[in-house]
Amino acid sequence: MYRILIEVVEVRGKCALGYKVGDRIIVDGFYLDPKNNNTRICIHALTSMTSLLSPFIHGVSARLLGIGEHDDEGYLQCPDPGKPYTCGGTVVFRVKRLEKMKD
């Protein structure tokens, strides 16, 4: 199992939670430790990522998952389509595999 960095790389429209480029979330295996994160965590964005984050955390290649061109880095996005459909906007996140966690 790996530690994962989730970083905001683009905001299209206005994020309802206020994400800005550079905001980061660290996932330690199955855990989100508030001490390791500099931003709040949007439940809508996180929920949309979990089906791909789980295998990525376990070492499956981002390329194999269809979310990137490299094994240890991929891209996911928030499900909010933004204007004209909602008052919000979508956020694009880079997910990057960091160090392997100790068993």
Q: Has residue 103 got a pLDDT over 90? A: no
| Domain extent for 68 | 2-100
Give the Cα separation of 14 and 75 in Å (integer). Answer: 19
Q: Is the peptide bond before 84 cis (omega within 30 degrees of 0)?
A: yes
31: exposed, middle or buried (Cβ count in 10 Å: 0-12, 13-18, 19+): exposed
Domain count, the chain: 1
| pLDDT, greater one: 66 or 101 | 66
More confident residue, 21 or 36: 21
Task: List, for residues 35-87, the tens digit of each pLDDT value.
Answer: 777 778 888 898 889 889 999 999 999 999 999 999 999 999 999 988 899 98
Task: Round to the nearest angstrom and report the end-to-end CA distance of the chain.
Answer: 8
| d(C-alpha 68, C-alpha 87), whole Å | 29
